[in-house]
Amino acid sequence: MKTVNEILSLLAGRDTRDKLTGVVFFPGEDTVLALKKAASLLPVEFAIYASASIVQEIETQLGNACHEFGQTKDPVRELSQCLLGKRSTGKASGDFGPCHFVVRGDFLSLDDAYQAISLVGSGQDIPGAASEVSPAGPKPERLFLSHVALLEAAALARVLVMSDGFVNPRPDIRTRLAIIGNCLSVCKAIGISAPRVALLAAVEQVYPGMPVTVESAEIANICKAGKTTRAHVDGPLSFDVALVEQVAKEKGATGEVAGNADVLVGSSIEVINGIYMAQTVLAGANAASVVVGGKAPLALPFPSDCVDNIFFSICLACLLSSHDLPSVA
């Protein structure tokens, strides 16, 4: 994939043209513009949580693309239910319609989104929600959620997959292995059959005084020992060695990944979040940002994202909703 705009072509090639329903939490002007663009190009409709004061304005903008409206005083619970594949209104009239994907609107705080994601990932019952599991029955399924971003790297003429820039702040070895698993599912959805995964560090050598290099080497060895045919995983690799062939050669880095990485996995949230912000805010790069691993993918644009990148995030969530992505921790 050379540009994130190719997601539209992949969506056009879906086996079914059935409409997908996206549940949108508290959209503002930018999100509404992105939803309008999505509705004009994709077979989608939206169920929107919004304050009553702006419903008419949203309806005017989106027209028939508005499937339904709802209000909630507990967006954390409602978002958690969506990520679990359940949507209960608490009304006598019954349940809302299906939820194929979710969209964080401008007025849903990142803190509320993080709380909902954490609840789903913890495997706990959602507070205030009617549990379908009896006290004596099995615990709710625990899902592993992670943030995945697509970044259009113009200098490299390809799209990079990056994780995790939001959900898992300090992933240990086991968590990074799960993050890689979610990345591979996204790669499959966008047509990268044997992705090259770089475990990022400041240097390419293993130094005991730099724990991230030791952990990266261990993760790479675990993946190699598993003899997976789905990906090539290597690390530690510095950012430039992972992406630039000439630099990799000059530094003596060999292997399938050095200079040709498709996927960048960071050792902390700051690594990937920093790359994403630097490219989108300073360089104006096209990008898409989602949270995967739930029953429904969540388009998670950041407050700094432009309308186009909100739109691309929605498109990616639509695409991923057609694939079997959930993973159990």
Stretch(es) of the chain classified as CATH 3.40.50.720: 6-142+287-320
Mean pLDDT along residues 213-220: 96
Q: In the predicted model, is pLDDT for residue 10 greater than 80?
A: yes
Share of the chain above pLDDT 90, in %: 74
For the segment 223-252, the average pLDDT, to the nearest whole number, is 90
Looking at the chain, the domain(s) classified CATH 3.40.718.10 span 150-282
The strand pair at 44-49 and 20-25 is best described as parallel
What's residue 64's pLDDT?
A: 87
Other beta carbons within 10 Å of 27: 26
CA–CA distance, 45 with 48 (Å, rounded to integer): 10
**150-282 has CATH 3.90.199.10 classification:** no
Q: Regarding predicted confidence, which is higher, 118 or 129?
A: 118
CA triple 17-42-37, angle to 5 deg: 170
CATH architecture for residues 6-142+287-320: 3-Layer(aba) Sandwich (3.40)
Q: Is 311 exposed, middle or buried (0-12, 13-18, 19+ CB in 10 A)?
A: buried
Residue type, 328: V
Output the pLDDT for position 284. 95
Q: What is the pTM of this model?
A: 0.90
Structure tokens at 121: 């990932």
Q: How many Å from the N-terminal Cα to the C-terminal Cα in the chain?
A: 29
Calculate mean pLDDT across residues 7-31: 88
